[in-house]
Structure 1
Amino acid sequence: MMENSSVPPAPQGAAKPAAGSATRRHLVLATSTLAVLALVLDQFTKRIVETSMYEGQVIDVFPPLLRWYFIKNSGAAFSMGEGVTWIFTIIQAAVLLYVAIFLVRKVRVWSWALALGGLMGGVAGNLTDRLFRPPSFGHGHVVDFIALPNFAIFNVADMFIVCSMVVICLLLFTGREFDGSRSGSKNKPGTEPGTDTQEMP
C-alpha cells in the first residue's frame, strides 16, 4: 500500500542557483583578493625603494640581467606623454571602474577572475601614485625601479598589468567567454555554459 506524502518533492535543479551564487561569491572574492594583494605589494616595494635609494641610483642585482634603477615617471610606458599626466590618471581611473563595476560581475570561471584581479591591482597601484604622490593630486609621478637590458624601467604594478593582459588576450583569442563557454557555442542546441563542443568532420 502506497503512502501519500504531504511534503511536495523538491523541484529538480533547486540547489543549482545556490551553488552558482556561491561560486560567484568565491570568484569575486578571489578577484578582489588578488587586486588588493597586487596593490599592497606594489606600494610596499615602492616604499622600500623610496626609503633605501635616491632618485637616479642604480643597484646591480643580477648583472647584466637585472638592476634596480630608481626613477619617477610622469608619463606612460617608455616615458611617453610626460606632459599630460592627468590624462593617464583619468584613463586608469576609468579602466579600474569599468572592470570593477561591469566586468567582474559577469565572471564565472577562474581564468577570467584572476586575470581581471591582476589587472585591477596593477592599475590601482599606478593610479595610487598618480593621485597621491608629488607633485600634486592627479599629477603624481609613478615610481619605477625594475630595469632589464634594452627595456623600459617598470614596477610591480606594471608586471601585474602585463601578465594579466597576456592572459586576457589568450582568453579572447581562444574565444573564452566570461561564463566559461566559447564564442558561438551559446547558439548551439544542447550546449551548457562552461562546456566545449566538438564538431565531427
Structure 2
Amino acid sequence: MAEAERIIGTPDIPDAEGADGAEPQQPAGGPAPEGSDEPGSARSGKKKVLVLLGVAVLAYLLDLVSKMIVVAKLEHEEPIEIFGDWLKFDAIRNAGAAFGIGEAFTVIFTAIAAVVIVVIIRLARKLYSLPWAIALGLLLGGALGNLTDRIFRAPGVFKGAVVDFIAPAHFAVFNLADSAIVCGGILIVILSFKGLDPDGTVHKD
C-alpha cells in the first residue's frame, strides 16, 4: 500500500526550476511583477490626466495672452504684415464659430463649447492613452479660450465676440484657440483610424 501511494502521489513533473531550466510560472491570480505598470492602473491614469490638464492650461494661456496683446496693441490699428500678403495679424471681433462661421448662432456655439468641455472632463476618468490626453487637452484648452471670450467680452454674457487675429491670404481669420481645436480634432481622427481608444486599448474592425 505504501508503495502504491508513493507512485500515485509522485507524478512525473519537472523540478521547481522546470525541466528545461525555465522559471516557474506565476500562479493565476497572483500578484503582478514588481514595477509593472498595467494600462488600467490608477497611477497610469493619473499621469495621463495630468498631461491633459497641462496641455489644456498651456493652450488656454497662450490663447488668452495673445488676445490680450492683440486687443491692447493691434485692435483699431493697421494690420501687421508677417509674410507680405500671405500672412498678416489683423484684429477682428467674431460673433460666430471658428473661422467666422455662423454669426447668428452665438449662444448655440457657446452652449456647444460648454458641452464639449463637460464631455472631455467625463472622458478624463477613463483616460490611459498619452496621444488621447494630448488631443483632448488641445480641445479643452481651445474650447475654454473661446468660451472665455463668449462670457466676458462685448456685447454680453454668452454673446461675446471672439478675438481673431491670424489672417492668412484667401482664408478666414482665426486665433490660437481655433488652431488648438483643429489640431486636437485632427489628432483624434488619426487615433480613431488607428483604432486607439482613450482607455489605451487598440481595436481592429
Of 172, 178, 186, the match for 1:152: 172
What secondary structure is seen at the aligned counterpart in 1 of 2:103? Answer: coil
Which residue of the partner structure matches residue 190 of structure 1?
none
**Residue 41 of structure 1 corresponds to which residue in structure 2?**
62
CA distance in 2, matches of 1:32, 1:55: 35
Match of 1:99 in 2: 120
> How many equivalent residue pairs?
176
The one-letter code matched in structure 2 to 1:57 is E
Q: Which amino acid aligns with 1:28?
A: V
Q: TM-score, normalised by structure 2?
A: 0.79
Does the CA contact (< 8 Å) of 1:130 and 1:140 recur in 2?
Answer: yes
Aligned: 1:131 with 2:151:
yes
Provide the residue aligned with 1:3 in structure 2: none
Work out whether 1:117 is the aligned partner of 2:137: yes
| Offset from partner CA, 1:64-95 (integer Å, 9 cap, x none) | 32100110000113422212211111000001
Q: Which consecutive unaligned segments of at least 5 residues does structure 1 have? A: 1-10, 186-201
Offset of 1:173 from its aligned partner? 1.2
Residue 88 of structure 2 aligns to a residue whose secondary structure is strand
Match for residue 31 of structure 2?
12
Aligned partner of residue 104 in structure 2, secondary structure: coil
Shift, 1:56, TM fit: 6.4
Aligned equivalents of 2:137, 2:198: Cα separation in 1: 13
Q: Is contact 1:73-1:144 (8 Å) kept? A: yes
Equivalence for 2:192: 172
Larger radius of gyration: 2
Q: How does 1:181-192 map to 2 (within 5 A)?
A: 181-184=201-204
Provide structure 2 residue ranges, at least 5 long, that are not aligned to the other structure. Answer: 1-29
| TM-score, reference length from structure 1 | 0.81
**1: distance between equivalents of 2:113 and 2:78?**
28
CA distance in 1, matches of 2:186, 2:53: 19
Q: Return the offset for 1:183.
A: 1.6
**Residue in structure 1 matched with residue 22 of structure 2 by the alignment:** none
Contact 1:39–1:125 under 8 Å retained in 2? yes
Aligned-partner residue type, residue 89 of structure 1? T
Q: 1:165 to 1:18 in 2, by over 3 A?
A: closer
The equivalent of 2:160 in structure 1 is: 140
2:73: which partner in 1?
52
SS of structure 2 residue aligned to 1:62: coil
Does the 8 Å contact 1:118/1:161 carry over to 2? yes
CA distance in 2, matches of 1:62, 1:157: 22
Q: How does 1:59-98 map to 2 (within 5 A)?
A: 59-98=80-119
Amino acid at match of 1:60: E
Give secondary structure in 1 for the equivalent of 2:113. Answer: helix
Paired position in structure 1 for 2:183: 163
> How far 1:179 sits from its partner (Å)?
2.5
